[in-house]
Amino acid sequence: MNRVILGNDYSRKRAIEAVVAAPAGYVCEVREPKRSSEQNDLMWSLLTAISQAEPLGRKHTPDDWKALAMNACGWDCQFVEGLDGRPFPIGFRSSKLTKSQMSNLIEWLLAFGAEHGVRWSDKEGL
């Protein structure tokens, strides 16, 4: 399987050649790249700060805050009863988000934190 990241004219030419050479029935997909590791690190740092601040008096883990934020941003997320009787989030994966989707999630976290007095530490770089 050929995978080409469209970063310059040469890589675009390689992509075109791969499409032209592909047998009938093959599938070509052009999509936005997945979120970056830097975005992922920032998201977890923000979620940790929100969790520690306990906005609205709510005590949740960073993982639960992630599910709540993704749900607030419009991604499908459900909470079902876990084996211990506590709610358990399902149906969300931030690793599947594109760079722009992750940017939207990070912007939502920053706005939510600012609205609820969350103090960001130096590790968020804000």
Q: CATH number for the 33-124 domain, one of 1.10.3790.10, 1.10.10.10, 3.40.50.300, 2.60.40.3140? A: 1.10.3790.10
Closest CA to 112 of 35, 59, 54: 54
Largest CA distance in the chain: 59
- pLDDT over 80 (residue 90): no
Q: Residue 103 — very low, low, confident or very high, per pLDDT cuts 50/70/90?
A: very high
Closest CA to 100 of 19, 35, 48, 43: 35
**More confident of the two residues 4 and 48:** 48
For 32-60, the pLDDT digits (tens) are 999 999 999 999 999 999 999 999 999 99
For 57-70, the pLDDT digits (tens) are 999 999 889 988 99
Computed on alpha carbons and rounded to an integer, the radius of gyration of the chain in Å comes to: 19
Beta bridge partners of 87: 81
What pLDDT, on a 0 to 100 scale, did the predictor assign at position 10? 92
